[in-house]
Amino acid sequence: QVADTLERLHGADSVDAVEAIRVEALGKQGWLSGLMKTLGKMTPEERQVEGPRIQGLRARVADAIADRKAVLEAAALEARLASEGIDLTLPAPAMPQGSVHPVSQVMDELAEIFADLGFAVATGPEIEDDWHNFTALNMAETHPARAMHDTFYFPDVDAEGRRMLLRTHTSPVQIRSMMKQGAPIRIIAPGRVYRSDSDATHTPMFHQVEGLVIDKDIHLGHLKWTLETFLKAFFEREDIVLRLRPSYFPFTEPSVEVDVGWKDENGRRVLGGDGDAPGHGWMELLGSGMVNRRVIEFAGLDPDEWQGFAFGVGVDRLAMLKYGMDDLRAFFDGDHRWLAHYGFSA
């Protein structure tokens, strides 16, 4: 029976199988335990012979069980380590990563470019009142932009009886900056603006960067140089051509609409075309002008002492131009694939 037990132990392939054999042999009802009990009925002489023999058998069987168990347990551990092991030589799985949004990227770039020209960054509230957004910017009560269907109004008024609204441009930051810090001023003001407008080229929320310089003896030449310098740095090319067209904004006088164009490597005009008609070839880029003296007055400064220029540029449009993006609405979809397509995903 010992030989049989040892052979079966050898063939046992699990800890459970070994345990079954142990119970069969060394359990309360086991055959070895039974053998041990026979000792009690023996004469002392018999016991002297049989005792050591049975103890020897028991020890052999117990040792064999312990050995087999150890082997099986080691194998099980080995298998588990192998299956759960981490292979450090494998490439790491790709993790989807976020990135800076093109709009934020452009705003950061503008902040850097203008910092080099001595401009600080200013901000104002997106929830504005109609005095800062319209009145102080010389926009009359009858100005069409003030209409309900162009501007998002809140039902309430503030403590001074001003109607609250979502600012329609970043120009109210001009007023807030002049009133807060006085003159001279050199700031840009990036931020979100809102208009009741929605199609392939208009979203109800979009982004602008406002620029404002207030100082002594500022003239149109300063405006032109600043815009040219900024656009060359932004588009990273020297062959930028600007076209300044007379325009109208209530808060600037004179007002200038700025179109941009440039030539390709062969000297051909890529944007800009040959025709000089508005909209033909030229990309309409921003509105600007000399700050209207009435605006300087509204903001509490003396227009005979201080002059300046201002401009407002659409950030989303700048990003589309620089990165060749064609649908404005994709800016606000939060689609990783769109970002990756334009090289914005890590």
Contact map string, positions 250 to 269, toward ligand PHE, x by CB under 6 A: --x-----------------
Query: If 0-12 CB within 10 Å is exposed, 13-18 middle and 19+ buried, where does residue 284 land?
Result: middle
Dihedral sign (CA 196, 202, 208, 212): negative
In the bound complex, what is the minimum distance in angstroms from residue 311's beta carbon to ligand PHE?
5
The full DSSP string for 54-77 is: HHHHHHHHHHHHHHHHHHHHHHHH
Kindly indicate which of the ranges 1-9, 74-82, 310-318, 335-343 contains the residues binding ligand PHE, using the contact rule CB under 6 A: 310-318
Query: Is residue 287 at the binding interface for ligand PHE, with CB under 6 A as the rule?
Result: yes
- Quick one: which of 234, 249, 262, 298 contacts ligand PHE (CB under 6 A)? 249
CB 254 within 8 A of CB 307: no
Q: Give the footprint of ligand PHE on residues 21-80 (CB under 6 A).
A: none
Taking the least distance from each CB to ligand PHE, the nearer of 169 and 317 is: 169
Q: Is 25 helix (H, G, I), strand (E, B) or coil?
A: helix
- Quick one: which of 172, 190, 272, 312 contacts ligand PHE (CB under 6 A)? 312
Give 190's contacts (C-beta < 8 A, 6+ positions apart).
107, 110, 111, 121, 123, 170, 207, 208, 209, 210, 315
In the bound complex, what is the minimum distance in angstroms from residue 124's beta carbon to ligand PHE?
13
Query: Is residue 151 at the binding interface for ligand PHE, with CB under 6 A as the rule?
Result: no
Query: Is residue 230 at the binding interface for ligand PHE, with CB under 6 A as the rule?
Result: no
Q: Give the footprint of ligand PHE on residues 166-225 (CB under 6 A).
A: 169, 171
Q: How many CB atoms lie within 10 A of CB 172?
A: 24
By CB under 6 A, the count of residues binding ligand PHE is 10
**CA–CA dist 244, 253 (Å, integer):** 14
Query: Is residue 289 at the binding interface for ligand PHE, with CB under 6 A as the rule?
Result: yes
Taking the least distance from each CB to ligand PHE, the nearer of 169 and 243 is: 169
Kindly indicate which of the ranges 18-26, 107-115, 220-228, 304-312 contains the residues binding ligand PHE, using the contact rule CB under 6 A: 304-312
- Peptide bond between residue 96 and the one before it cis (omega within 30 degrees of 0): no
Residue least distant from ligand PHE (Cβ): 312
Task: Give me the residue label for tokens 């070895």.
Answer: 32
Taking the least distance from each CB to ligand PHE, the nearer of 32 and 251 is: 251
Residue type, 124: G
In the bound complex, what is the minimum distance in angstroms from residue 338's beta carbon to ligand PHE?
26
Q: Is 314 helix (H, G, I), strand (E, B) or coil?
A: strand
Q: What residue ranges bind ligand PHE (CB under 6 A)?
A: 169, 171, 249, 252, 287-289, 310-312
